[in-house]
Chains A and B, each alone.
Chain A
Amino acid sequence: MDFTFTEEQQMIRDTAESFLTEVSTSEAIRAVMVTDTGYDTDLWTRICTDMYWQAIHIPEDFGGMGLGYVELVAMLEQMGRFLLCSPFFSTVCLGSNALIVAGTEEQKAEYLSQICEGATATLGYTGPSAGQRSGQWGAETIEATAKRDGDNFVLNGTIRYVMDGATSQILVLAARAEGTSGEEGVSLFVLPADTAGVEATWLPTMDQTRKQGEVVLTNASVPASALMGEEGQAWPQLAKIIDLATVASAAEQMGGSQQLLDLTVEYTKERVQFGRPIAGFQAIKHKAADMMTSVEVARSGVYYAACVAQEALEGGEMESELPEAASIAKSYCSDTYFKNAGNSIQMHGGVGFTWEYDPHLYFKRAKSSEHFLGNGAYHRERLAVLLLDGE
C-alpha cells in the first residue's frame, strides 16, 4: 500500500501547475469566459501539441500516452484550481472515456486518434427530465430515441446540460429504443457533430467558465457503424463512463476548493482592520481551518477514487467499488467546494462581492459543478441505496 504520488505523477502535477499558472490567469479566464465558445483556440492547440495533455490516458495503440487515471486526476486538480477554460474536461473525461469504455476497435481507431490530434468531443445523455427533482443523472433521464431504419439508426429528441455541447466536434450520445424505460433499451452512438439533423446550441450559463449546450436531434440518421457496443445494451458501459467522469469532476472541485483556501488566506493576511491583519481574528482563523480540513479530506477521497477508477479501466479487482468511490468523492467535494466558496466571499468582505475579485468565479463554478452529474444529496442517496435497501 502506498498512497502517495510516484515521482512521475508528481512531475505531471508540477508541470500542470506551472503551465496553468502562466496561461490560466484571472485575465485570461475573463477574456474567454465572455465568448460563447468559452475557450481560446490557440491555447487549446498549445495544450494539444506542446503538452499533449488530451492524450494522457488514451492507449498508446491509438496514439495516446497510455498513462493512468491517477495521472489524469493530478492534472484535473490543477485545472480546477486554475479554472482552466478549455474543452479538456468534455473531450477527455467525457469523450475519450466514453470511447475507451464503450467504443469498438474501429471507433477507437478513428475517434481517439482524432482526439489525439486535437479534435474536441463530449458526451450527452440527459433529457430535460434530468432537471427535475433537483437533478437526476441516472438511466431514466435518457429521453432521446433511436430507431432502426435499414442499415441506419434514426435519432430524435432533446439532450440538455451537455458540457461544451455547442462546440464539440465529436458527439457521443445516448438514446433509447422507443417504448423502453430505465436501464433497458439504451444505446450509445458516436457521430460527427455536423451530422445532418443534429442541432447543437449554446445555453448561456451563470458559470461562464464552463459552457453548456443543448443538442436537438431531428431525424438524424447515423450508420450502424456509429453504434457503440450492442444495440439497447449500453447502460452498464454508460454507467461506468458517468462514474469515471464523476471522479474527474470531483478532482476539479477539490482543486478549486484548495485555490479558494489559498487565495482567501492570502487576502486575510494582507487586509488590515482594527490595527491588525484580519487573519489574526479567530473567527477568520477558524473558518480557514475548517476550509483546510475539508480540502485535505476531499483530497484523500479523490485520490482514492482515482486509484479505483484506474482499476476499473484495467478491469481490476476494485472495479466494483467504482460507483461507491465516485459518489463518496463527488458528494464530499461538491459540498466542500460550495462551502469554501461561500466562506471565501464572506472572508473577503465587500470586495468578495465584486466582479473584479476572483471569488465569484469559483463560487459560480462550485455551484455549476455541484449540479453537474449530481449534487451531494443525489450521490448520498445513491450510497443510501447501497447501504440501506439490500436485504
Chain B
Amino acid sequence: MKLSFSAEDELFRKEVAAWLNDNLVGEFTQLKFRGGPGDEHMFPEERKAWEQKLAEGGWTCVGWPKEYGGRGCSIEQQVIFNEEYARCGAPGHVGHIGEGLAGPTIIAFGTEEQKQKYLPGIVAGKELWCQGYSEPGAGSDLANVKTKARFDEEKGKWIINGQKVWTSLAHESDYVFVIARTDPDSVAHKGLGFFLMKMDQPGIEVRGIEQITGTSEFNEVFFDDAECEADDIVGAPGEGWKVAMGLLGFERGVSTLGQQMQFQNELNQVIDIAKENGAYQDPTIRQRIAKAHTELKIMRYNSMRMLSGQGGGDGSLQKEALIYKLFWATWHRSMGELAMDVMGPESEILDGGPYELSRLQSMYLFVRSDTIYGGTNEIQRNIIAERGLGMPKEPRVAAK
C-alpha cells in the first residue's frame, strides 16, 4: 500500500492545474461551480463552448484510449485530472453522458464504423447524448421495457415506437441510446436491442417534465415511427441487455473522485455558514458536520481502493465498488439536510421570486433524486445482498 503519487504524476497534476488556471477565465468565469447535478439546466450553450475549449486542449475523454481520440491517461492520472477539475470549480461536463456512458459502450461493444461515426463528436465536445432506458412501466424493473423496434426491410432501417421517461438532457442532446424490444413476443431481458439514434427527426418528440426544483432537466421522449439506421444497433438484436448492463459498469468509474471534490466544495460551504451564523456551537450540528466529513473522507479512500483494485479482474464489480452508489447517494442526501439545518430559518428564504433557489437550496432538493436514479437505494441493497453476499434473488411473478 502506498498513498502518494509518483513524481511523474505530480508533474501531470501541475500541468492540469496550470491549463485550467489559464483557460477557465474571461467568459468562462461565470461557469465556476455551475452545471453540476441539480444545476444541469444552467448555461447549456456556454458549457458547450467550454467543453470545446477543453477538447482543444485535449482534456475531454482523458481516460479513453488514444486511438479513439482520448488521452490514454492511467487511472492515477484520471484521478488527478478529476480532482483538479473539481478543485478549481470547473463546470459540470455538459457532455458527461456521451463521455461517461455512450462512448465507453461504443468502444467496448460497437463496430469500427460506429466508433468512427460517433466518437469524434463526443471527444470534440460538440455532440451531446442522452440515455433512453426508463419507461413509464420500466423503472427499477428496467427489463420490462415495452418500446418496440421493428426492422423495415423496405427502408432498410429500424423503426422505433414507444415512450421513454425521465430522460435527462434529452432537450439538449443530439443523440440518444435506446433499449427497445426487437422481438415483440419476448419478455424481460431477452429480445432487446441497443440503438443509437439521432434526436432531430420527425418521429421523436421531447416534452420537458418540471421537477421538484421547479426546473426541467429531464423529459418524456415519444417515439412515433422514429428511425434508426440499420448499422446503428450495438451488438446483435436480442443482445441489448448485455450491452446495457455493460454500460452500468462504466457508471462507477474514476469520475467518482471528481464528484467527491464537488461534495467537498458543498461541505466547505456549509462549514463556512456554520462558523458565520454560530451553528458550529451546537453540539448536534458539530457531530453531524464531523460525521459528514468522516464519511466523505472515507468515500475517497474507498474510491482509491476501488480504483487500485481494478485491472486484471474478471470485470465483475469488487465489493467496494458494489456498495459505492448506495453509500454516496445516502451521504449526499444527508448532506442536503445538514445544509438546511445549519442555515436554520434562513434556509427558507429564496434568492428571488418566483422560485429562484440558491445553490444549496437547489442541492437540498436535488439530492432526493440521488437515491432514486441509477438504481434506487432499495435496488442497490438487493444487488449487494444477491451479488455481494449470495443471498436468494427476489422472486419474480411470472409474466402473463
Contact = CB atoms under 8 A, between A and B. Distances in A.
Contact of A293 (B297, B384, B391): B384
B289 interface: yes
A2 B308 contact: yes
Given A289-B326, A293-B384, A300 B302 contact: yes
B353 interface: no
Contact of B301 (A290, A292, A300): A300
Interface of B is mostly: helix
B380 A289 contact: yes
Instruction: Indicate the member of B271, B286, B298, B302 with the most A CB atoms within 10 Å.
Output: B298
A285 B308 contact: no
Given A1-B76, A292-B319, A304 B382 contact: no
Interface stretch (B1-9, B49-57, B208-216, B343-351): B1-9
Contacts of B298: 297-298, 300-301, 304, 328, 332
A304 B295 contact: no
B309 interface: yes
Interface string B380-398: 1110111011111011000
Interface residues of B, number: 51
B305 A332 contact: no
A274 B274 CA distance: 51
A5 B1 contact: yes
Interface in B253-281: 271, 274-275, 280
A9 interface: yes
Contacts of B327: 293, 297
Interface residues of A, number: 51
A112 B295 CA distance: 37
Contacts of B286: 380-381, 384, 388
A286 B381 contact: yes
B319 A296 contact: yes
Nearest to B299: A297
Interface string A1-37: 1111110010000000000000000000000000000
17 contacts: A1-B79, A2-B308, A70-B1, A265-B389, A265-B390, A279-B392, A280-B395, A285-B382, A285-B391, A301-B294, A303-B1, A304-B298, A304-B304, A332-B295, A380-B290, A381-B287, A384-B286
Given A300-B298, A303-B305, A380-B286, 19 more contacts: A1-B4, A1-B308, A3-B2, A4-B1, A269-B390, A286-B382, A288-B389, A289-B381, A289-B382, A289-B389, A292-B319, A293-B384, A299-B320, A303-B301, A304-B3, A304-B301, A332-B298, A377-B287, A381-B290
Interface of A: 1-6, 9, 70, 261, 265, 268-269, 276-277, 279-280, 282, 284-286, 288-290, 292-293, 296-301, 303-304, 306-308, 311, 317-318, 327-328, 331-332, 377, 380-381, 383-384, 387-389
